[in-house]
Amino acid sequence: MYLYGVDEKQRREKTGAVFSNDQENLMKKDVFERKWNQIRGESKVWWGKLTDDDLDQVGGKLDVLAGLLQKRYSFTHQRAIKEIEEHLTEYDASMDRKTEPSPGR
Per-residue pLDDT tens digits for 77-94: 999 999 998 998 898 888
Half-sphere exposure of 78 (CA within 13 A, CB side): 9
Beta bridge partners of 2: 7
Whether the model pTM is above 0.75:
no
Domains and CATH numbers, the chain: 21-97 (1.10.1470.10)
Q: Are strands 2-3 and 6-7 parallel, antiparallel or unpaired?
A: antiparallel
At 6-47, the pLDDT tens digits run 454 554 554 444 445 666 767 778 888 888 998 999 999 999
Termini Cα distance of the chain: 49
Residue 105: is it exposed, middle or buried by C-beta count within 10 angstroms (0-12/13-18/19+)? exposed
Instruction: Give the separation between CA 72 and CA 2, rounded to whole angstroms.
Output: 36
Rounded to whole angstroms, what are the CA distances from 30 to 26, 39, 74, 89?
Answer: 6, 14, 25, 15
76: pLDDT strictly greater than 50: yes
